[in-house]
Amino acid sequence: MPPRRRRWPVVAAALAVLVSLGAIASALPDTPRIGVVAQDPASLGDAPGDAAGVPGEVLDPTSRRAALAQLLVDRGEAVRTGDRRAYRAQNAPGAVVPAFDRLAALPLAGWGYTIDALTSAEDPREVELAVTVRYRLDVDVADAVVGERLTVRYDGTAWRVVREETDGPRAQPWDLGDLTVVRGSSSLVIGVGVDATIARSYARLADRVTPDVSAVWGRTWSRAPVLVVARTTTMAARGLDRSAESMRAIAAVTTAEDGLDSRAGGRGADRVWTNTPTMATLTELGREIVLRHEITHVAAGAAATGRTPLWLEEGFAEYVGYRGSGVPLRTATRTVLAEQRAGRGPRTLPSASDFSGGSIAVAYEAAHLACSLVVQQVGEDGLARLYRATAAGTGDADANVAAALREVLGVLTPQFQRQWRSYLDRLAD
């Protein structure tokens, strides 16, 4: 299932540091068992016609649907509990299904199926199911949501799965390779095709920068980021529904996986995907800045809502990403300042379209300076209040930030833009 919002950052000129977008899971409450949601039989397709030699319960639509629902309940339980024998027993010989060892590597608190649609084949002993898989890692407080398609066949004794595969443009980690899961003191890393040494290095890095995010945003978020560390750019591209070529300059992307339209306090089932080969070209400081930026998106829940303009989302993450790094502000924003000195600087705060194409570095840096200006005027607490007030708005992103600027800074958007342009002029001198 494609994420609702994604940011595609580039490697910044100053440090070859790239940024993207973020969001993550929150503290885990008691997690209910996830099961199959029964559907109205009328919504699941027509029953097949009579067939000689096929038991009546296979032909009867009510009995058949009940049997399929029970199969999926049992399958969800087998995955959740790591019951290899039960999982295998549910598969037909030669079935093409997710590798059990990959699923078993995940620290699952729940895994369940909802039947969305049922299509009968010519052979009444076979059906195609469109399902929604909802699962939780033990650090998630919302379900991750994945669409799947299953082919199920009655073999004379029971319904068994012939094929189970992800339905949609984005591959899941278990589709891409063997999984190595490592826990940090606060983070969880799902390595795809990487060894434990690499996974542990990312866990240490995430553990190191997570408190920096809380220092600005506060502690009202999970403080438990989940990273998917894919071995190759192609793997990351498949997981994000991008071409490998478009991913070359992208170090990390954070996606919302919970299928919800909004969220509270950055809580949900989010994944920070790293383009590991690109990350490997950065210095340790560069990787810290990237992950601090990403995990800021996680804390703020940026991947889940369209209520906040990109200049505030990305500027806030850039501000926190560079905070405490030792990189001077003029160095971190040298591209936009050079444009300003040449008389080609931006006249308005970056729009959503500015965060793609050839001017992306200027957009990120201009947004960074807008948030730095807010900190100068009302402090870091004020910047966090501005963000929260904007995200809590009920209008579109521009209306929400306009109301928040009035509330927190006491200015209208045009006045703030004039202040921001003057700030660029001062720094460009």
Report pLDDT for 11.
37
d(CA 339, CA 337): 5
Name which of 45-59, 283-297, 314-328, 405-419 the model is least confident about. 45-59
Q: pLDDT tens, 76-98?
A: 999 999 999 999 999 999 999 99
Residue 349, pLDDT > 90, answer yes
Element (H, E) at 165: strand 159-166
The C-alpha atoms of residue 74 and residue 306 are separated, in whole angstroms, by: 38
Task: Yes or no: say if 239 and 230 are a contact pair by the CB < 8 Å rule.
Answer: yes
Please state, as a whole number, how many other Cβ atoms lie within 10 Å of the Cβ of residue 267: 23
Rg (CA), the chain: 24
Confidence of residue 140 (pLDDT cuts 50, 70, 90): confident
What is the model's pLDDT at position 303? 58
- The reported pLDDT for the residue numbered 124 is 85
* Residue 4: predicted pLDDT: 38
pLDDT tens-digit series, residues 271-327 = 999 999 999 999 999 999 999 999 999 899 865 568 899 999 999 999 999 999 999
Identify which of 176, 156, 154 has the alpha carbon closest to the alpha carbon of residue 165: 176
Report whether pLDDT(38) > 80: no
Whole-number pLDDT of residue 5: 44
Strand duo 226-230 + 188-192: pairing: parallel
Place of tokens 């403080």: 223
pLDDT score, position 137: 96
Residue 61's pLDDT is: 84
| Mean of all residue pLDDT scores within the chain | 87
Amino acid at 335: T
Handedness of CA 81, 191, 295, 10 (dihedral sign): negative
* Paired tokens of 277: 């080969």
Quick check: 17 pLDDT over 50? Answer: no
Instruction: Residue 280: count other Cβ atoms within 10 Å of its Cβ.
Output: 11
Stretch 68-81: mean pLDDT, rounded?
A: 98
Question: Which pLDDT belongs to residue 274?
Answer: 98
pLDDT at 259: 58
Element housing 212 (H / E): helix 196-217
CATH architecture of 41-171: Roll (3.10)
Percent of the chain whose predicted confidence (pLDDT) is above 70: 84
DSSP string spanning 301-348?
A: TGGG-SSS-HHHHHHHHHHHHHTTS---HHHHTHHHHHHHHTT---SS
Distance of CA 378 to the CA centre of its chain: 31
pLDDT tens digits for range 196-210: 999 999 999 999 999
Asked if residue 195 has pLDDT above 60, the reply is yes
| Domain boundaries for CATH 3.10.450.50 within the chain | 41-171
Structure confidence at residue 267 as a pLDDT band (50, 70, 90): low
Residue 21 predicted with pLDDT over 60: no
Over residues 100-112, the pLDDT tens digits come to 999 999 999 999 9
pLDDT tens per residue, range 368-402: 999 999 999 999 999 999 999 999 999 999 999 99
- pLDDT recorded at residue 264: 43
C-alpha–C-alpha distance, residues 117 and 147, integer Å = 12
